[in-house]
Structures are given as C-alpha cells and as structure tokens.
Chain A
Amino acid sequence: MNNKPYSDIPGTTVFDGDMVRIGFHLNQFCMSLMQESNRAAFKQNERTYLDNWPMMEAQKKAVIARDFSQLIALGGNIYYLVKISSSDGLSVAAAVSTMTNLSVDEYIEMMCRGGRSPAGNRYVVSNSSEGKQ
C-alpha cells in the first residue's frame, strides 16, 4: 500500500480509493434511501432490506446498530451515511457527534464555543509541540 500523506492526521479517515473500494456496496445501499419507497421498505425490515445488498456482514450489523464510527471504518462516506440518519429524522450534528467522545449536547456546546481547536489535533504524534513538517 502506498504511503498516505494524511495517515498522520488524528481522528480522521480520508475517503480515498481504498475506502471507496471497501465501501462501494455500503454506500450504494445508503444511496437507495434517497427514494421514499426504499426508505419505507428499509424501515419495515432493516435486515431483509440489507440482505438485498452484497455488503459485508460487519457493514450490515453496523448499519443496524447505527455505529457511524464503524461504518466510516468500513468504507462508508459521511454524505452517504447521513441518508441513514436523515431517514431516522436525525440531524447531521447528532449523527456526527456519535463519532466523537462527546454526547450530542456536549458536541453542540463545543460547536457553540467555536468548535474543536486544531491545536493538538494536526498530527497523531503531538507531544505538545506540533510537528513542523
């Protein structure tokens, strides 16, 4: 595998070719939720609906669990994944916050205070002084 220039950015998954390949069917499943009839079928029986897609078992389980961190790790892209949370009636912030170590309320409060600071969040190895690469 090529050395990725973004692999040293903490808490971040870049949606590159490798992730696109892993997540193809997962993301196409999410895409199907753009149609009301599909949303209804999914809601009626999530497992049955998911079994129509050639997805990994782990991806199906993560969809049912609404485990967004796991879904990102398994190649899901956030713009596709929010189609699941939108069909649940959840805001993007609510879905996004579940990937952090904060509750929804704490996350929203952090945003209102100006968001997460880049200080200390630029490099994985951030021994106080951030690298000058």
Chain B
Amino acid sequence: MAKITSGLGTSHIPLLGHIIDKGDSSDEKWAPIFDGYQFTKKWIREQKPDVVILVYNDHATAFDMKVVPTFAIGCGEEYRPADEGYGARPVPTVKGAPELAWHITESLIKQGFDMTIVNEMDVDHGLTVPLSMVFGEVEEWPCQVIPLAVNTVVYPSPTGDRCLALGKGIRAAAEQFSEDLNIQIWGTGGMSHQLLGERAGLINQEWDLAFLDDLKNDYEKLGVISQVEYIRESGTEGSEMVMWLIMRGALNQEVNEIHRHYHVPVSNTALGHLIYENVDKKGE
C-alpha cells in the first residue's frame, strides 16, 4: 500500500532559484541560507520518495485573472518550468504521477473537497524552487510530483482549518492506493513577508518561530488563524502559511521534527524550512 512517510515545509523564494541557476549557491555570501539545506539533501537521498505531493501557490503563471481555482490538483503526465518574465528556469521537466493523482482526486471529491482538475500547466518558482533546494542541481528530478496549487493570490484564500482537513483527506486517499509507494508531502511558501505598499518588508520573527513550534503538536490552533490575522501579523504574503497546514494535516498526529532552519532575510522574505517524519504507530 502507498504511504505518506514524511512531510517537509520550505519557503519557495524566487531569489533562491536565481542564485542556483547562476551557479552561485556555494558562494560564501549565501551560506547562511543554503547551509540549512545540507541536511535535507543528504536526507532525501536516503529517503528516495517515489512521489512528492507538492503544495504551492501559482504566482500568475498557469492561472491568470480569468480563472482562479482555490485548490487545483495536477493530474497531468508532466509539467514544464514556466517563463515567468525572464525566461524559463533551466531545470528538468517535472514528471507527474497521473495514476495516483487521479486516485487522490477521485477520493477527495467523494470526501467533499471540490478539487479543480488540471491536466496541463506550466509550473513556476513556487514548485521548482523547493525541488532545487531539496534535490540540488540534477539532470532529472529523482521522483514524480503531484502539484497541488492553492490560491493565495486573490483574497480570500482557503481557511487554515480547511487546509488541515484537505491534508487529512489526502492522507486517507493516498493510503487506499494499492501500489507500494513512498509518498512525501511538502508544504511551501512563506514565511512572513509583504511585497506591497508602504508596509512592504514586514517580517515577524516571533510569529514565524511560534508557528514552527505550534505546527508539530498544536496545529489545530493554527487552523483557526484568519487570513486577516496572518496579513496583520506576518504580511500580505505571510498568509501563504496555510499551505504548510495541508502538509501537516496529511501526517500522523505524532511526528518527529528531524530538521529546522530559519533565516532572515532572503530578499523580502523570512525563510523557513523543516522536516517531519511520521511516528509509526499501530492503528495510524
């Protein structure tokens, strides 16, 4: 049977992609950022996931103002890295996991989650930067990916509670898939940042660190944070953190936090990253 074994949270800041693509990621200057992913790179080589369900938000790339899906799941065969205005990132095409994606989609819809089904789309830095940060520079991504795009661009975003519930739904669905698969789920985006207005540049370290602490055991408490509170406390784009709640919801109640990294700033943004492994318990 398929199993979600672990979860990973990471910011998906576009500057990180630029640094990697220029070949500068080993530059001393960026060490405080990239050193926090050394553990992760080693860990992922040992874990060898078959599929990563990658929760991210599209930044006016695949979806423009014509259609804005709240939850969109990629059921396609593959996804090309997008040209976001300065040419496409020179990273491999992302291979989908259509059979599992369709299984999860069917299950989610039957569970009451009205998913938008995407069969073809380009993927932007929201999806490819996390892959680069974790897998490094590779000829091919070493696993299949199911993109799960969440609207965090147009107000309102889905609530934290709904995101936790969706995570739980994904887990229930994945575990009914008959093939033996090692699945990971990644929640991306955040942490505190605001990219507009006179208040641009807002960072709230205290808020971010409390979020990282609560995510392990007290995540239900995070589910009731309103988008307005996220915006007030952690900036307009700080509300991307609901995507980490989808990841958390898809894991066991009990998890081990095996890695954490937090750094301010990466351009406009507070970078957060952590890894959870499911604690195996009977009945879970």
Contact = CB atoms under 8 A, between A and B. Distances in A.
Contacts, number: 150
Given A31-B65, A77-B153, A118 B201 contact: no
Interface in A49-87: 68-69, 72, 77-80, 82-83, 86-87
Interface in B55-106: 59-61, 64-66, 82-87
A35 B87 CA distance: 9
Contact of A15 (B84, B153, B265, B268): B153
Given A86-B84, A87-B86, A31 B195 contact: no
B228 to A, nearest CB: 5
17 contacts: A5-B226, A10-B199, A17-B155, A20-B154, A24-B65, A28-B65, A33-B85, A36-B87, A72-B196, A79-B60, A89-B86, A96-B196, A96-B201, A111-B203, A111-B265, A116-B199, A118-B234
Contacts of A117: 202-204
B137 interface: no
Interface string A17-30: 10010011001101
B268 A111 contact: yes
A103 interface: no
Given A12-B194, A111-B201, A115-B270, A34 B83 contact: yes
B14 interface: yes
A91 B267 contact: yes
Contacts of A100: 197-201
Contacts of B196: 12-13, 68, 72, 78, 96, 99
Nearest to A76: B196
Interface of B: 14-15, 59-61, 64-66, 82-87, 153-156, 192, 194-205, 207, 226, 228, 231-234, 236, 264-265, 267-268, 270
Given A14-B231, A30-B60, A92-B268, A72 B197 contact: yes
Interface residues of A, number: 55
Given A33-B85, A111-B201, A118-B234, 9 more contacts: A13-B196, A80-B60, A89-B86, A92-B267, A99-B200, A107-B200, A110-B201, A116-B199, A116-B200
A101 interface: yes
A72 B153 CA distance: 14
B212 to A, nearest CB: 17
Interface in A97-112: 97, 99-101, 107, 110-112
Contacts of A118: 202, 204, 207, 232-234
Interface of A: 5-6, 9-17, 20, 23-24, 27-28, 30-31, 33-36, 39, 68-69, 72, 77-80, 82-83, 86-87, 89, 91-93, 96-97, 99-101, 107, 110-112, 114-118, 121-123
Contact of B265 (A6, A33, A36, A112): A112
A34 B207 contact: no
A6 B64 contact: no
B265 A114 contact: yes
Nearest to B207: A118
